[in-house]
Structure 1
Amino acid sequence: VIKALFFDIGGVLLRTEDLSGRQKWERRFGLPDWGLADVVFNNEIAARATIGRATQDDVWAHVAVRFNLTEDEIAELQRDFWAGDRFDEELIGFVASMRPRYRTGVISNAWPGTQEFLARHPAISAAFERLIISAEVGIAKPDPRIFRLALGAFGVAPRDAVFVDDVLENVEAARGVGMAGVHFTDPVRTREAVDRLLRDKEQ
């Protein structure tokens, strides 16, 4: 019987809906679409930040050096980079509606400061009992230990938990520890898949 639901944040509950801010800089730097995100996220410093061994400032300093940007320019790039991100209030509301029948948590690969950022969004606090952030626990998905840590925090067995993520590798890692995994492709399909799992496990 399902007792706990875990969700990823970035790409699931918080998605980049408006790319115009990033595209402005991609044109300036001669990068393809999504090329700026690739530069920001796929480097050694960002990987260290994801497990709490570097700060957000370290990541942006690396980007500034890469593109030879002034302090004002990197501050503007940062603002533009996040400006198109939107919380999916409907999906977050769906999760909130599952409480208190199910325990609800987040398992997210994210940099230091994420917990404080999410605390400013009351709907997240209402929807989720516990936020497991990779930078705070020093382990990142798809490492199975982060799933075991989340399960342990709720005292539930893997077979009694569902995990939703937009990255298939992470979903497969959760399945590998015995959780039910849902690969996020869009909000409607995800809600249907979670509902179906909950129904099936109750029969």
Structure 2
Amino acid sequence: MAGAGPVEAVAFDYGGVLTTPVADSFERWRTGLGIEPQSFTDCLRAWLGREAEEDSPIHRLETGRLGAAGFEKELATRLRRTDGSHPEPAGLLTGMFAGLRPDHAMWDLTDELRARGIRLAIVSNSWANTYPDRLRDGRFEPVLISGALGLRKPDPAIYQLLCARLDLPAERVAFVDDALPNVEGARRAGLHGIHHRDAYTTRDALLSVLGAGTTAGPAATSRPNKETRP
């Protein structure tokens, strides 16, 4: 945990933090295409796991060195349908993320933090994703997208860049991500790393870091519903 000092900014990952879980979207996509589960699990482990090679296709995609079409071709060769065939490459990435929806409880939390005078930022590893306009409506500054930077979490350089853009020392910044390796990377860089599981526990963790009691604010009276609003 970072050293003492008032936290002045909170940086959020996007997919799986400000949205419904990425894994849920992946599962609906995989089921819909009839992808054999083990082939997808093995591919993610090889390309994104802790032992993944630094030049794996996902790492190259996230840093902008591999385009969406090239990644989809590599992915299609690794995946098998239950009938033994490979899926068509075109549209794989779009389909993988098609099930994401805003997590309204988390967006409410960003409103609460802004009302407390806390600055907000985004640090996202992009899979050639399209981000909503509201991400750039002035609520978050800076917005750091890995593919545009050539840097990806958990590279310490991306957390250093975040702090530089905020003009704050690391101990004044909290970072929220649903991927534990990215949280651990933030902690190694001196930030207050918070592992996101749901809006309720993330809010409690943030208010603890901010030195605010969990009884303050409208969201404290009940656990937010994990279901998204229509």
TM-score (norm 2): 0.72
- Where structure 2 has 5 or more consecutive residues not aligned to the other structure, the ranges are 1-5, 80-84, 214-230
The answer on 1:129 being equivalent to 2:141 is yes
1:45 & 1:91 partners in 2: Cα distance?
Answer: 30
Q: State the identity as a percent.
A: 28
Q: Could you say if the C-alpha distance between residues 146 and 186 of structure 1 is closer, same or farther in structure 2, counting changes exceeding 3 Å?
A: same
For the 8 Å contact 1:6–1:162, the answer to whether it is kept is yes
1:33 to partner: Cα distance: 9.2
Q: Could you say if the C-alpha distance between residues 200 and 172 of structure 1 is closer, same or farther in structure 2, counting changes exceeding 3 Å?
A: farther
Deviations along 1:98-137, whole A, 9 cap, x unmatched? 226121101111134x4xx22x342663531221111111
Q: 1:139-150 residue pairs with structure 2 within 5 A?
A: 139-150=151-162
SS in 2 for 1:145: helix
The answer on 1:87 being equivalent to 2:102 is yes
1:57 to partner: Cα distance: 1.6
TM-score (norm 1): 0.80
Of Structure 1 and Structure 2, which has the larger fraction of its residues in helix? 1
For these two proteins, the number of residue pairs brought into alignment is 193
- Where structure 1 has 5 or more consecutive residues not aligned to the other structure, the ranges are none
Q: 1:1-203 residue pairs with structure 2 within 5 A?
A: 1-14=6-19, 15-16=21-22, 17-18=24-25, 19-25=27-33, 28-32=34-38, 35=41, 38=44, 42=48, 44-67=56-79, 73-75=88-90, 77-99=92-114, 101-112=117-128, 114=129, 117-118=130-131, 120-122=132-134, 125=137, 127-199=139-211
Greater than 6 Å deviation, 4+ residue runs: none
Q: Could you say if the C-alpha distance between residues 97 and 36 of structure 1 is closer, same or farther in structure 2, counting changes exceeding 3 Å?
A: farther
SS in 2 for 1:182: strand
RMSD of aligned residue pairs (Cα, Å) = 2.9
Of Structure 1 and Structure 2, which has the larger fraction of its residues in strand? 1
For the 8 Å contact 1:151–1:158, the answer to whether it is kept is yes
